[in-house]
Amino acid sequence: MDMLAKRSFYYETRPARQMLPAGQSSVQLLSRLSKQDLDKFDQIVEQHRPIDKGEYLYQASKEFKSVFLLKTGAIKTVKNTHKGHERVTGFYFPGEIVGVDGLASNHHSNSAIALERSTVSIIPFSRLEKISSDNPDIQRWFFQVLSKSIIHEQQLMTLINTQQAQERVIFLLLNLSRRYSSRGLSAKEFFLPMSRTDIGNYLGITIETVSRVLSRLQKFNLIKVDKKLIFLADIDKLASMVSMNNE
């Protein structure tokens, strides 16, 4: 697993400008704007904020004021159930927008927590709203962000309600593979910043089941696992084992 170990070091120590290549993920449409429009968008960014591992970016019920563009690191979102349990609702990576859950009620319904030391750009929603009204391309980009958020919620519910444990784990691995690839990183080798407990919580299965599924997939030479390092040996075969489209 030496190759994977080197990959992990490379991933975790790359400078921020390489972690967020232009034209990828949530910033894909923005990268196609004119320099003048990009400069306007850059002007609405309030500040760049570092977040330590385990620190809250925002908490549920707090007033919604901004959305956040993740520059480096990784973030998970969680929601407290009516029984008082914490439920992981999503994982976010560089280039993705966090915080749109607050739009519906002007208060965040989730809490966002850094999985590792991270950096975000704070974008006040009032400024984003104004610049969007003046620029159809930026407005279209933000609608796309909202659409992806809705699709994610629908996929998660479908995944938990209709898929077996193995399919859930494979679906997540393929989803992460696609998202890493969209950032110019390897689709086959990547680092999992979240814990097995978080993965199980997100997928609605136990940590023991997560470990069993990963061990089974490794036994059949479909993946290789070294702690939080993952190598997908046969992406096509893995894709054939799930019945949901991974968008």
Would you tell me how many other CB atoms lie within 10 Å of the CB of residue 55? Answer: 13
Kindly report the CATH number that applies to the domain delimited by 19-148. Answer: 2.60.120.10
The residue type found at 184 is G
Distance CA 148, CA 60 (A): 21
Enumerate residues 6+ apart whose C-beta is below 8 A from 73: 51, 94, 114, 115, 116, 117, 118, 119, 193
Q: Quick one: pLDDT at residue 244?
A: 65
| C-alpha 50, offset from chain centre | 17
Q: Quick one: pLDDT at residue 160?
A: 85
SS (HEC) of the chain: CHHHHHHHHHHHHCCHHHHCCCCCHHHCCHHHCCHHHHHHHHHHCCEEEEECCCCEEECCCCECCEEEEEEECCEEEEEECCCCCEEEEEEECCCCEECHHHCCCCECCCEEEECCCEEEEEEEHHHHHHHHHHCHHHHHHHHHHHHHHHHHHHHHHHHHHHCCHHHHHHHHHHHHHHHHHHCCCCCCEEECCCCHHHHHHHHCCCHHHHHHHHHHHHHCCCEEEECCEEEECCHHHHHHCCCCCCC
Q: Where along the chain do its domains lie?
A: 19-148
Q: How far apart are the first and last CA of the chain?
A: 29
Helix orientation angle between 207-219 and 165-182, rounded to the nearest 10 degrees: 80
Low-confidence ranges of the chain (pLDDT < 50): 1-26, 28-29
Question: With the CA atoms of 111, 116, 121 and 127 taken in that order, what torsion angle do they form, in degrees rounded to the nearest 10?
Answer: -10
Q: Quick one: pLDDT at residue 124?
A: 95
